[in-house]
């Protein structure tokens, strides 16, 4: 600790608290300030997902009108997932299904259950010098006579470094090979996202999700100002390198997300939604397509995890000046 300070929180601060109002009541959270340009909130009762992320006191995330919603309000019927989708910088989807509900199996809900799963064994560990933090926890998606998947997540940040590290270990603790679906729903919002922003995706190949998205294929990388009655468009990108992001010269900010994966994440899904109030660009490393498991099995994109085995995904989220 510097001789200039009496308390290390002057230089690097980590705070734990619990929301107490409305549908957020009871949700545990961890705030991190890196002592420089970066401040972010981790929701321990929402899969240790990243909610607000601010760089140089500017918002980087898209926040939905629902706000933070406790897992007790989760509705797995139809589009009920949207009623507890707070957006945030990251919402994790899976582990049994992503995208649409699967009509062939009513237990496979929209975008899965993991983002509404509280962390067990939450640990907020400061380094000996109190200039770095490691936040970790375990989320379990398990059922008697069925799937037995465990997600162990670790989030790291160092003082003065405008980088968030995120590491996931997914383990099949059961004794049968199991389907595994994952999507990391990174959501960028205003002012990081505006008509002056440039989407950075090193795409080797780009395919539209449907006919509507195909109509906008010629401008998939264009960011428009908010449009009235804009209908979302989704694109599947095959990447030449596992790195993507947004540059916005209007606020002098560059954001990059690089990742590695044990064969799970083999495509980047771009969610292009530029409506009034619903103004967001989702950049989402994904394991399969979005039309439900039966469709993913049919088109060959469905992934699996062997019994008693572990797979890993790691991310580095970096903010810098342009």
Q: Per residue in 175-196, pLDDT tens?
A: 999 999 999 999 999 999 999 9
Q: What residues contact residue 74 under an 8 Å CB cut-off, 6+ apart?
A: 80, 81, 84, 113, 116
With beta carbons less than 8 A apart as the criterion, state whether 61 and 52 touch.
yes
Res. 311: pLDDT tops 80? yes
When pLDDT is cut at 50, 70 and 90, the band that residue 105 belongs to is: confident
With beta carbons less than 8 A apart as the criterion, state whether 293 and 108 touch.
yes
Strands of 132-142's sheet, edge to edge?
120-126, 132-142, 148-158, 163-172, 310-321, 253-261, 243-248, 198-200
- The rounded distance, in Å, linking the Cα atoms of 125 and 314 is 19
Residue whose entry in the numeric block shows the structure tokens 């008509």: 195
CB-CB neighbours of 304 under 10 Å: 15
> How many Å is the Cα radius of gyration of the chain?
19
The pLDDT assigned to 1 comes to 61
Q: What is the pLDDT of residues 130-161, one digit of tens each?
A: 999 999 999 999 999 999 999 999 999 999 99
The pLDDT assigned to 217 comes to 97
- Give the mean model confidence (pLDDT) for residues 302-313: 98
- The rounded distance, in Å, linking the Cα atoms of 35 and 160 is 6
- The rounded distance, in Å, linking the Cα atoms of 151 and 119 is 9
- The rounded distance, in Å, linking the Cα atoms of 121 and 163 is 24
**Per-domain residue ranges for the chain?**
62-115+140-150+166-321
The pLDDT assigned to 267 comes to 98
% of the chain residues with pLDDT over 90 = 96
The pLDDT assigned to 68 comes to 98
Q: What is the pLDDT of residues 108-136, one digit of tens each?
A: 999 999 999 999 999 999 999 999 999 99
When pLDDT is cut at 50, 70 and 90, the band that residue 103 belongs to is: confident
Strands of 58-59's sheet, edge to edge?
13-18, 28-33, 38-43, 49-55, 58-59
pTM for the predicted model, two decimal places? 0.97
CATH for 62-115+140-150+166-321 (3.10.50.40, 3.40.50.1970, 3.40.50.1980, 2.70.98.10): 2.70.98.10
Q: What is the pLDDT of residues 257-301, one digit of tens each?
A: 999 999 999 999 999 999 999 999 999 999 999 999 999 999 999
CB-CB neighbours of 195 under 10 Å: 12
Average pLDDT score over the chain? 97
What is the distance of C-alpha 221 from the center of its chain? 20
The pLDDT assigned to 290 comes to 97
- Residue 23 is classified by DSSP as G
Q: Where are the alpha helices (DSSP H) in 99-248?
A: 211-215
């Amino acid at each position: 600790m510097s001789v200039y300070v009496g308390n290390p929180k002057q230089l690097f601060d980590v705070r734990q608290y619990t929301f107490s109002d409305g549908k957020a009541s009871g949700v545990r959270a961890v705030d991190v300030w890196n002592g420089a340009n970066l401040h972010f909130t981790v929701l321990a009762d929402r899969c240790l997902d990243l909610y607000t992320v601010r760089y140089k006191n500017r918002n980087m995330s898209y926040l939905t009108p629902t706000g933070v919603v406790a897992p007790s309000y989760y509705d797995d019927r139809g589009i009920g997932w949207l009623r507890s989708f707070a957006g945030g910088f990251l919402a994790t989807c899976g582990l049994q299904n992503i995208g649409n509900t699967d009509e062939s199996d009513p237990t496979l809900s929209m975008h899965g259950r993991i983002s509404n799963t509280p962390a067990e064994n939450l640990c907020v560990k400061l380094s000996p010098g109190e200039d770095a933090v490691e936040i970790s926890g375990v989320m379990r998606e398990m059922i008697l006579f069925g799937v037995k998947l465990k997600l162990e997540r670790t989030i790291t940040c160092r003082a003065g470094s405008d980088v968030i590290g995120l590491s996931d270990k997914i383990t099949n603790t059961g004794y049968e090979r199991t389907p595994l679906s994952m999507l990391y729903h990174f959501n960028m919002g205003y002012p990081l996202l505006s008509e002056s922003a440039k989407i950075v995706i090193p795409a080797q190949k780009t395919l539209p999700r449907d006919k509507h998205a195909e109509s906008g294929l010629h401008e998939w990388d264009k960011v428009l100002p908010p449009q009235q009655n804009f209908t979302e468009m989704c694109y599947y990108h095959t990447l030449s390198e596992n790195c993507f992001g947004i540059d916005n010269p209007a606020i002098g900010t560059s954001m990059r997300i690089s990742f590695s994966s044990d064969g799970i994440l083999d495509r980047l899904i771009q969610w292009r939604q530029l409506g009034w109030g619903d103004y967001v660009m989702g950049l989402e490393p994904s394991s399969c397509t979005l039309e439900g498991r039966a469709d993913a099995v049919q088109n060959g994109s469905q992934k699996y995890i062997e019994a008693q085995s572990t797979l890993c995904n790691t991310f580095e989220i970096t903010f810098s000046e342009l």
